[in-house]
């Protein structure tokens, strides 16, 4: 696993395809909106498999754990989810997003 900082979006999408071709169930998380001081830009990706393995980054590490947990649920249910983290959100403090910004992350199963 890598922290994603050295990987570009096309690399993460290629990883997603490779994992699917290998028979792994996967979800793709994408930063769709940011406000204020956000750790990763819009369009950043994180690919997650059903075992919790992941590659890429949607938050520079501060909310990845919460996104991975939600992604596993998305894989199991097949239903996408929209997640939002910000300093006013109790979850954001719990997972470490205290940078003053907010991010919205869309998590979708990859078929």
The strand pairing partners of 105, in sequence order, are 31, 83
Average pLDDT over residues 87-104: 62
| Domain membership flag for residue 3 | no
Give the pLDDT confidence score for residue 3 in this predicted structure. 40
Give the pLDDT confidence score for residue 49 in this predicted structure. 97
| Domain membership flag for residue 4 | no
How many Cβ atoms are within 10 Å of 74's Cβ, its own excluded? 23
Q: In whole numbers, what is the pLDDT of the chain averaged over residues?
A: 84
| SS3 (DSSP) at 31 | strand
| Domain membership flag for residue 2 | no
Residues 6+ apart with CB under 8 A from 2: 55, 56
| Domain membership flag for residue 1 | no
| Domain membership flag for residue 67 | yes
How far apart CA 29 and CA 96 sit, in angstroms, is 18
Give the pLDDT confidence score for residue 38 in this predicted structure. 78
> What domain range is 94 assigned to?
9-110
Average pLDDT over residues 76-81: 98
Q: Encode pLDDT of 28-38 as tens digits.
A: 999 999 887 77
Number of domains in the chain: 1
């Amino acid at each position: 696993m890598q922290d994603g900082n050295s990987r570009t979006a096309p690399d993460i999408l290629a990883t997603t395809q490779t994992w699917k071709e290998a028979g792994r169930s996967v979800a793709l998380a994408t930063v769709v909106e940011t406000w204020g001081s956000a750790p990763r830009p819009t369009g950043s990706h994180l690919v997650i498999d059903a075992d919790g393995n992941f590659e890429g980054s949607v938050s520079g590490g501060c909310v990845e754990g919460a996104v991975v947990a939600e992604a596993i649920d998305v894989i199991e249910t097949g239903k996408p989810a929209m997640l939002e983290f910000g300093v006013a959100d109790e979850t954001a403090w719990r997972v470490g997003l205290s940078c003053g910004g907010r991010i919205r992350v869309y998590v979708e199963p990859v078929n």
